[in-house]
Structure 1
């Protein structure tokens, strides 16, 4: 069963933590699909990956770019995996579809948004009931991720 990781964003916004998480995934040799809550948000996240660091960028593409099979990171607003990603990230309330066969599914949610918290709780229950290994991660005072529950 695919492990599901829940990341509770409280101290830093998604735009600050996502590039590092995606970079780590690429360093591990994983292909990534990032599913956002809307097409506009997918394009905004794609723009962030070009500009988050003055000295680097993360190779990625969206439907506007095409050629998903050539993209190490595919950013979308739908439940698709055209770049054969083995890790899927879900942000901004994107609802995970089928995750079987993935190395990992990662759900990032805003801890300051009551609806996001409720969706995360429902997802936790759903994936636990389905038999997935799940874990809950939260940032400490220094911004390091701590595993708070499994």
Structure 2
């Protein structure tokens, strides 16, 4: 089964947290797919990953760039895995079919938004009912704190 980590944003927006989480995954040699809310969001996240830190480099691509098989980080709004990634990163309240085909999944949601929090609870229950291994992290001013799992 897949290890699913739920990451509750409490101090910074997704745009600050996502690059740092992807940096860690990339440094660990993991290939990732980021499943975003739509095509415009994919391109906004792509621009973010190129510009968030002038001293960092996160190689990534999307359908506009092509060559998915060469991209360690693939940004998409489609439920796909064209770069043979083992890590799925869910943002914008997305869920994925075939969750069990991934080794690991990060579900990042805004814990300050009641609608997003409620939707994350639904995804949490679905992952639990699917037999996946669950971990729940809350963002602190010092980073991520494991709350359960």
Give the structure 1 partner of residue 39 of structure 2. 39
Give the structure 2 partner of residue 58 of structure 1. 58
Give the structure 1 partner of residue 49 of structure 2. 49
> What does residue range 2-81 of structure 1 map to in structure 2 within 5 Å?
2-81=2-81
Give, in whole Å, the separation in 1 of the partners of 2:57 and 2:115: 32
* Bigger shift: residues 49-58 or 60-69: 49-58
TM-score (norm 2): 0.96
Deviating runs (4+, > 4 A) in structure 1?
none
- Unmatched runs of 5 consecutive residues or more in structure 2: none
**Number of corresponding residues:** 149
Give, in whole Å, the separation in 2 of the partners of 1:28 and 1:56: 15
Deviations 1:110-146 (A, max 9, x none): 1122221111100111111111110110022x33211
Q: Is the 8 A contact 1:10 1:110 kept in 2?
A: yes
RMSD in angstroms over aligned alpha carbons?
A: 1.0
Give, in whole Å, the separation in 1 of the partners of 2:14 and 2:39: 17
TM-score (norm 1): 0.95
SS at match of 2:132: coil
Q: Is the 8 A contact 1:33 1:76 kept in 2?
A: yes
Deviations 1:51-91 (A, max 9, x none): 01112221000000011001000000010000001000000
